Amino acid sequence: MLLMIGGAAGAALTWAGITYGGGTAAGKYPEFAKITEARKIIEEENVRFNEDDALSGYFSGGIDEFSCYAGVSDDELGPAEYVNTSGTALASGFAIDKADSGNIRIISATEDKAAYKCGLRVNDEITEIDGVNVKTAGFENIATKLLGKQDTVCELTVLREGTEQKITFKRDNDPMHSIDWENRDGIGYIKIKNIGEFAAGNMSQAAKELSGLRGYVIDLRNNSGGATNVCADLLKNLTPGEVIVMKSFKGEESRETVAEDPNVISGPTVILVNRNTASSAEAIAAAVKKHNKEAVIVGERTFGKGIYQKTVTLESGGLFRYTAGNIWIDGADDWNLIGISPDKTIEMDPEKTGTDEDIQLKEAFEILG
C-alpha cells in the first residue's frame, strides 16, 4: 500500500481538501487555521521553511514517532524505505530514519554486522557522509550515499549523546543471512538478527539442522522487528497454529494463523530479549512463550511496540507512513506501551551482547544445563 503529498509551499497545504489560504481550514480541520496563519507570517518574513519537514512533523507529532511524510516522486520509495530494503542495509545490519534534527538516525544496528562492527549504534545521528553535511544536502538527497559495493568505505561524522565522532563504515553487500545458528554442545543457539526477506528460509534451515537437541536459545536482543508477513513465515518453525491478530483503529480485524513447517523447534527454550527488542520481534517472543510451556524469557523488559504501520502514496505526491492499528498474539498479553516482562530479569549494557561479558547469554545456557 503506497501513497503521496506535494513539495511546493502552497501545494503542501492543499492536501486533505484544505486550501493554503485557509478557506476550509477552520471547518472540518480547524487546526489548519493556526497552521495557515503561522505559515503566512513565516512567508512574509522570508523565513526559510521546509514543507516536507513540516508535514512530517505534523504527522509524527500528532500521531506518533513512527508516522511521517516523505516527499518523493510518483511510484518511488521514500529514502529511508529505499535504503532499509537495500542489500547493503540488510547485509550490513542497519536501518535508518530521518531524525527530528534532519540528520540520519540509526534505528537498528545488528551487533555482528558491518555497521555495528564499525561503531554505529542505535540512535546515533549521522551528520556528515564523506564530508558532506546531511542537513545541507538534505536527508532525501544524501541517505542513499550509505549504500555501495562490497567492502567500499565511506567516512561518517556521528553525533552520539551530544558528542561528535568519526567512523569509517566499510559496507557489506551479502544479505543472505538474517539468522545465525549453531549447535553448542547439544544446545541450539539461534540469533534472529533481523526479520528481513531471508529470515523465514534461514529459520527453516536452522530448525532442520538443530532438530532433536536438548534445548534452544532464541536470541531476539537488539532486534527492532520487520514485516508482519515475514514474522508469520518465521514462526512456522517455532509456533505453528498460533494466531497473529491485527486490528485497525477503524475496528477492522484480520487474523493470520501460523502455518507449520516439517521442522519445528520444541522443548526447553530460553528467549533472550532486551530493551531494543521491538515490534514483530516482540511478537515472536510472545508467541513462543505462549506456545511453548517450557519457554523462559530472560533479559530486560522489551520496547513495547504493539502497533503496525501502513505506507500510502498520496495523489498530490509523496509517501505517508502512519500507524494504522494494534497487533498481538491471540491469547497472549498485550505488550504495546508496556513491553514484555522477562521471567528472569538481568540488566546488561546492550553493547556487551555477544562479548565475554554477555551475562544474559551465560544465564540462558546455565538454565538449559
Question: Which of the listed ranges 32-36, 64-68, 137-141, 333-337 does the model predict with the highest average pLDDT?
Answer: 333-337
Dihedral angle over CA of 205, 207, 208, 214, nearest 10: 150
Residue 334 counted as domain residue: no
pLDDT score of 1 = 35
When mean pLDDT is compared across 12-26, 56-70, 110-124, the lowest value belongs to 12-26
DSSP percent split of the chain into helix, strand, coil, nearest 5: 30, 25, 45
Contact 334, 306 (CB under 8 A): yes
- Average pLDDT of the chain is 87
More confident residue, 75 or 166: 166
Q: Which residue has the cell 542513499?
A: 144
Pair 267, 242 in one domain: yes
71 pLDDT above the threshold of 70: no
Residue 79 counted as domain residue: no
Q: What is the arithmetic mean of pLDDT over 28-53?
A: 87
E strand or H helix that includes residue 79? helix 79-84
97 pLDDT above the threshold of 60: yes
Name the pLDDT band for 85 (thresholds 50, 70, 90).
Answer: confident
Of the residues 146, 170, 194, which one is the last residue of a structural domain?
170
Quick one: DSSP state of residue 16? G
Name the pLDDT band for 88 (thresholds 50, 70, 90).
Answer: confident
Report the number of distinct structural domains present in the chain: 3
Contact 271, 347 (CB under 8 A): no
210 pLDDT above the threshold of 80: yes
Q: Please state the pTM of the whole predicted model.
A: 0.70
Name the pLDDT band for 72 (thresholds 50, 70, 90).
Answer: low
Residue 51 counted as domain residue: yes
Pair 65, 93 in one domain: no
Pair 149, 264 in one domain: no
Q: What is the pLDDT of residues 267-309, one digit of tens each?
A: 999 999 999 999 999 999 999 999 999 999 999 999 999 999 9
Of the residues 139, 170, 201, which one is the last residue of a structural domain?
170
11 pLDDT above the threshold of 50: no
pLDDT score of 6 = 26
Which are the contacts of 321, defined by CB distance < 8 A and separation ≥ 6? 66, 67, 68, 69, 70, 78, 309, 310, 311, 312
- Quick one: what percent of the chain has pLDDT higher than 70? 90
Which are the contacts of 259, defined by CB distance < 8 A and separation ≥ 6? 232, 233, 236, 240
Pairing between β-strand 319-329 and β-strand 68-70 as defined by DSSP bridges: antiparallel
pLDDT score of 77 = 55
16 pLDDT above the threshold of 50: no
pLDDT score of 294 = 96
How far apart are alpha carbons 255 and 232 in whole angstroms? 11
Range of the domain at 201: 179-304+339-368
